[in-house]
Amino acid sequence: MNVSFENKALEELYIHGSTKDSRYKRLSHDIIVRFIKVVNYLKSARRLEDLFLMRSLHYEKKKGDLKGVDAVWINRQYRLLFRTSPNEGGIIVNALLLEISKHYE
């Protein structure tokens, strides 16, 4: 998939492993390593359906206030939220990473 970042802090976190953004600078090293691993999984997927095969990601389409947003697990507590869009052929191959969200907050 083609992965892009809506938030510069997420991009810094992915590239450098740290950021000065107050939302993410207190994340533990283990969460950051897992976040980078999840983004690499997204990048290696050729299309959205490939994420279904990676059971550890627990891919889901959100409902309610987050309708139109997709999520995968970073771990049991944190989720990576993103929006997807199709290419010209209608196959979903683009992901815009939105934020790391604490589950149930």
Given a contact cutoff of 8 angstroms between Cβ atoms, the answer to whether 66 and 20 are in contact is no
CA distance 62 to 100: 14
Confidence class for position 104, pLDDT limits 50, 70, 90: low
| Domain layout of the chain by residue ranges | 2-102
Protein fold of 2-102:
YaeB-like fold (3.30.2310)
Helix/strand/coil (H, E, C) string of 13-77? HHHHCCCCCCCCCCCCHHHHHHHHHHHHHHHHCCCCCHHHHCHHHCCEECCHHHCCCEEEECCCC
Answering whether pTM is above 0.85, one says yes
pLDDT in tens, 68-82: 999 999 999 999 999
Q: Grade residue 92 by pLDDT with cuts at 50, 70 and 90.
A: confident
